[in-house]
């Protein structure tokens, strides 16, 4: 064998190398193809998820919950069912309003207690009872607006329409409430108090005189307020805020100390409106806005009521009016932002003018003195309150209120036999 023949490789070996190269290229291409198919797997999952969602939609449609089916069901709903749902919603809203009102009332009571503690004043027994054992419900709280100089008026009221039977020792240094007052509060749910603040010099002779009178009779509600005729709007605001904090009542009444009141008739009158929310009861009037300085009832802010000669909005005359618990709570919560006009009755009316409050005009709350109230009593229409319009109260009330009570009073038995 020659060298040449020994140095050459067989042809079969050369062909095998070519096929090996082709095989490698084929494997590479196959690997690329296989890799691309592997990356398509997430798309497969998406397709599966979409298919699952579509399956849910098909299930809803099959169960009659498709858009068209729902629309058909809405169309086919009985109007009675719709009214029933609306009625349930309305009741739920009313319940929520009542809950909010109760919470606001409790908040007002807590604020009043906090103010008393901050000012160093002792908490009243009523407020202590409120905090310890819950609030008792009363029918009405009657606040008799009075002044330092009105001792004779107060005594005349105690001797006539305000139940009073104090039990005192010989020196009158120790007295306690008699059965009439106690029965009035516990059985009838009626609280009656003379309402007064303090003098400009707190603790002076005027304040000490009221303290001595209160120790004897126990029928005062002392306010954190400086007394003064031009401060009646502020006093009225503080009275309602204080009363609603001390006593949980259906109604809160304000009356002047020169007005005769039939308590039983007042209770029956208010009881007719007990289930109504936001009630404002009184003899509604609309007097002229007086811009001239120096005249009685002058209105310094007359320009707010329009052109000269305009009248006020309807509001209850100041001799006697009553408001429901909702409105008293509203005053208590918002007392710091409620505007005060010169005249107290105008101020009160302005606080309710923008509220959804029912104004009830009852002329029995502003009868005249005899013979007017006497004629009405004989006709079976007993008056709630009697006074002289010319004096904005009973003229010379300390001397005349006993005569008014004799001729127009409902009688003591009427109070205890009343149905409220």
Please determine, for residue 291, whether its predicted confidence score (pLDDT) is greater than 50.
Answer: yes
Going by pLDDT thresholds of 50, 70 and 90, the confidence category of residue 129 is very low
How many residues appear in the chain? 420
For residue 322, what are the β-bridge partners? Answer: 253, 281
Paired sense of beta strands 279-285 and 315-324, if any: antiparallel
| Three-class secondary structure of residue 33 per DSSP | helix
Mean pLDDT over the full length of the chain: 81
Instruction: Identify the residue with better confidence: 3 or 203.
Output: 203
What does the pLDDT average to over 43-49?
46
Question: Per residue, what are the HEC states of 320-353?
Answer: EEEEEHHHHHHHHHHCCCCCCCCCHHHHHHHHHC
What does the pLDDT average to over 157-178?
69
Structure tokens at 177: 């409430």
**Cβ contacts of residue 241 below 8 Å, gap of 6+?**
108, 112, 328, 331, 332, 335
Residue 35 has a pLDDT of: 59
Residue 126 has a pLDDT of: 43
- Does CATH number 3.90.550 belong to domain 138-167+175-285+312-417? yes
**Ranges of each domain in the chain:** 138-167+175-285+312-417
Whether the CA torsion 170, 171, 174, 179 is positive or negative: it is: positive
Residue 66 has a pLDDT of: 55
Please determine, for residue 60, whether its predicted confidence score (pLDDT) is greater than 90.
Answer: no
What does the pLDDT average to over 135-146?
94
Instruction: Identify the residue with better confidence: 111 or 188.
Output: 188
User: Tens of pLDDT along 297-339?
Assistant: 889 999 999 888 899 999 999 999 999 999 999 999 999 999 9
Please determine, for residue 104, whether its predicted confidence score (pLDDT) is greater than 80.
Answer: no
Residue 178 has a pLDDT of: 64
Instruction: Identify the residue with better confidence: 197 or 45.
Output: 197
User: Tens of pLDDT along 335-352?
Assistant: 999 999 999 999 999 999
Going by pLDDT thresholds of 50, 70 and 90, the confidence category of residue 90 is confident
Residue 113 has a pLDDT of: 53
Separation of alpha carbons 300 and 229, rounded Å: 15
Residue 68 has a pLDDT of: 55
């Amino acid at each position: 064998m020659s060298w040449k023949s020994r140095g050459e490789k067989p042809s079969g070996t050369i062909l095998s190398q070519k096929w090996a190269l082709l095989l490698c290229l084929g494997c590479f291409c196959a690997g690329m193809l296989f890799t691309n198919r592997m990356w398509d797997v997430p798309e497969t999952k998406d397709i599966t998820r979409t298919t699952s969602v579509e399956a849910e939609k098909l299930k809803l449609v099959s169960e009659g919950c498709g858009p068209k089916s729902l629309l058909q069901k809405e169309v086919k709903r009985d109007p009675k069912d719709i009214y029933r749902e609306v009625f349930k919603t309305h009741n739920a809203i009313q319940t929520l309003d009542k809950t909010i009102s109760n919470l606001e009332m409790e908040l007002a009571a807590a604020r009043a207690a906090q103010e008393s503690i901050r000012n160093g004043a002792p908490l009243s027994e009523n407020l202590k009872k409120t905090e310890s054992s819950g609030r008792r419900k009363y029918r009405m709280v009657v606040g008799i607006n009075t002044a330092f100089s009105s001792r004779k008026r107060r005594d005349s009221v105690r001797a006539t329409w305000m139940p009073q039977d104090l039990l005192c020792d010989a020196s009158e240094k120790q007295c306690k409430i008699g059965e009439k007052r106690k029965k009035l509060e516990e059985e009838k749910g009626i609280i009656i108090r003379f309402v007064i603040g303090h003098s400009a010099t707190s603790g002076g002779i005027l304040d000490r005189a009221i303290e001595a009178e209160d120790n004897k009779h126990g029928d005062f509600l002392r306010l954190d307020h400086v007394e003064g005729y031009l401060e009646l709007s502020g006093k009225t605001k503080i009275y309602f805020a204080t009363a609603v904090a001390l006593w949980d009542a259906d109604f809160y009444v304000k009356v002047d100390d020169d007005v005769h009141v039939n308590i039983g008739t007042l209770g029956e009158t208010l009881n007719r409106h007990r289930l109504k929310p936001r009630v404002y009861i009184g003899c509604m009037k609309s007097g002229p806005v007086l811009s001239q300085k120096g005249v009685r009832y002058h209105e310094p802010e007359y320009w707010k009521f329009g052109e000269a000669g305009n009248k006020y909005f309807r509001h209850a005359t100041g001799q006697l009016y009553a408001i429901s618990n909702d409105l008293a709570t509203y005053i208590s919560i918002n007392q710091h932002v409620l505007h005060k006009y010169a005249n107290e009755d105008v101020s009160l009316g302005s606080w309710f003018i923008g509220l959804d409050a029912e104004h009830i005009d009852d002329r029995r709350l502003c009868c005249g003195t005899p013979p007017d109230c006497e004629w009405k009593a004989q006709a079976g229409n007993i008056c709630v309150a009697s006074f002289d319009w010319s004096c904005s109260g009973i003229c010379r009330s300390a001397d005349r209120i006993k005569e008014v009570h004799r001729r127009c009073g409902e009688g003591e038995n009427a109070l205890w036999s009343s149905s409220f």
